[in-house]
Amino acid sequence: MCCFFTALVFLGPRAAVLVWWLINPLRFSAAFNTFILPILGIIFLPWTTLMYLVVWSPATGIYGLDWLWLGLGLVADIAMHGGGAWGNKDKIPGYGSEPQTIEKTAAPVEPATPAAPAPPAEEPPVSTDDSAPQA
């Protein structure tokens, strides 16, 4: 049991399950009916697989509060996967700690064309009558 806890502390649940399988392979063959289930468990849910091996008994299987321990193993697996995603969030574009702002750019503005010159203002008609006094 000392090697099991050392492997668990230093190398994680996958290494602990493999060490336990090397030490006591009969427990694996009794706890799991097929070979594929423990392999999938070691790959995807190592804490739950390890907890299943700890609480499983040949006489009763999983019974009573054993389900609580299996639930804690599942929570540990979810936390392990979620913690990895949280730790790498800065490496994924758009998921950084600072909100990404998307700058809205207006449609390209075409340069203004010079306006046509305004028609000249109309001058008052010039009278040809010399009889009017001029100011």
Q: What is the pLDDT of residues 77-98, one digit of tens each?
A: 898 877 776 777 777 676 655 5
Q: Which domain covers residue 78, as residue numbers? A: 2-89
* Residue 33 within a domain: yes
Domain total for the chain?
1
Given pLDDT bands bounded at 50, 70 and 90, which one contains residue 49? very high
Whether residue 106 lies inside any domain: the answer is no
In a domain, 97, yes or no: no
Mean pLDDT of 64-70: 91
Span 31-45, mean pLDDT? Answer: 89
Residue 46 lies in a domain: yes
pTM exceeds 0.85 for this model: no
Under DSSP, the state recorded for 91 is G
Region 33-42: mean pLDDT is 88
24 in a structural domain: yes
Is residue 98 a part of any domain in this protein? no
